[in-house]
Homo-oligomer: A and B are copies of this chain.
Amino acid sequence: MNDIIFRTERLKPHVVGFDNQQLANEARGAFHQLLEGTGSGSDFLGWVDWPEKIDTAIVKNISSDVARIAPKIKIFVVIGIGGSYLGARAVIEALQGAFGNNGPRVVYAGHTLGEDYYADLLDLLDANDYAVAVISKSGTTTEPAVAFRIVRQHLERKYGRDEAARRIIAITDASRGALRQIATDEGYSTYVIPDNIGGRFSVLTPVGLVPIAMAGHDIEALLGGARAMRAVCISSDDPATNPAMRYAMVRQAALRQGYPVEMLVNFNPQLVYLGEWWKQLYGESEGKDGRGILPHSATFTTDLHSMGQYIQDGQRLLFETVLSVANPRRRVCIPMDDEKNLDGLNYLKGKSVNDINHCAQEGTVMAHNAGGVPVLEIEVPEIGEHTLGELIYFFEFACGLSAYMTGVNPFDQPGVEAYKSNMFHLLGKPGA
């Protein structure tokens, strides 16, 4: 699995047979449904080959927009919700510093209807030079459409309509929809959301690439990681060599053996939003027809001091997938200038924070496993564009497999419409 390590030892003794022939056959069937387009929702399989097939002009155009816009802004507002929001944020938060970014600061809008949030955002935009990406297939999804009206008015008043148009990038349908029309009328730089890639599978399209590049990160390396993982995932329908098949099999075995909740656990706070992206990917793909694993997430050791007690000793509902990172980007060692040693930490002499983190991780996996929690471990060498590209493709491919094994269409989301139609009715939308 390239440089990603996959450990199943700690699933036992709680989940058994995750590598048995029946599950392998199911996974093999799902594999062929995905690659041959014979399963439900097969109009939305564009993401499978995307890392190979992406037009190199897209990356060039993005680089050109970044070179044109980034030097003149402090803030880049990314307007989008769901799949038009979480993928970019997951990658950007993983790669930027804990307290900010060297490039433009990316802030988000259109992902909430919190009024105070928009008041605070307008203050920020009053005080700083900025540009905007607006990401919406139709241009009429309520949250981003509302945000774009607010931000566009502010931008046009601040810079004038012509300069505002040079500061807006629209990522939308190739030809149809309100946002495409506005972009054409106003002359925005535009990128296309492919018809055959749904929102939660779109982070490697311009939906994610534009914000990630504007934040200063290497989108070619991200795509390279996805290509490398694609080669692994599509090359064989043998679970022994296909980690995405193994992950899907483990999940199905856990679900069927009484663990309806999966908690994606990380030990690095910059991965919080990767967990949020993963929750959408799996929850929205599998949670339908009364089925599916309920996704949960946690960041340790932080949440060992909040959710840890429940995981260790509470009702046995969940299995954990621990996403661990071998190496940090930078080193911080424990100072050893305390002769009194009142805090008793001198025994940690020569250890880095990450060394302690790894012992905490190993200790946690052992403890939870002893407490009755099946634990799957996925380890990457470091957090960088290449490994994030690998992880994204790995989770996407395994999600398609796992959803087919669940017996649902991985690529629709009919339940998301229910609140919207009620909301439109309550708002008095014409025709609702």
Contact = CB atoms under 8 A, between A and B. Distances in A.
B294 A318 contact: yes
Q: Is the interface of A mostly helix, strand, loop or mixed?
A: helix
B301 A113 contact: yes
Interface in A290-330: 290-296, 299, 301-302, 304-318, 328-330
Interface string A269-291: 11000001001100110111111
A266 to B, nearest CB: 9
A339 interface: no
Interface stretch (A18-26, A114-122, A189-197): A114-122
Contact of A82 (B261, B306, B347): B306
Contacts of A338: 149
Contact of A178 (B182, B276, B344): B344
A422 B364 contact: yes
B334 A314 contact: no
Interface residues of A, number: 130
- How many protomers of this protein does the assembly include? 2
A429 B346 CA distance: 9
A17 B287 CA distance: 28
A309 B122 CA distance: 31
A292 B370 CA distance: 19
Contacts of A122: 332
A162 to B, nearest CB: 17
Given A148-B343, A294-B317, 18 more contacts: A114-B328, A115-B332, A115-B353, A116-B270, A116-B328, A142-B345, A150-B335, A182-B342, A276-B306, A283-B310, A287-B310, A290-B313, A295-B310, A311-B415, A313-B415, A356-B427, A363-B420, A363-B422
Interface of A: 81-83, 85-86, 97-99, 107, 111-124, 139-140, 142-143, 145-146, 148-150, 153, 178-179, 181-182, 185, 199-200, 260-261, 267-270, 276, 279-280, 283-284, 286-296, 299, 301-302, 304-318, 328-332, 334-335, 337-338, 340, 342-345, 347-348, 351-354, 356-357, 359-360, 362-364, 366-368, 370-371, 383, 413-416, 418-430
17 contacts: A99-B120, A115-B328, A115-B352, A116-B329, A146-B345, A150-B332, A150-B353, A182-B343, A261-B294, A283-B307, A284-B307, A287-B315, A290-B316, A292-B314, A295-B307, A312-B419, A371-B415
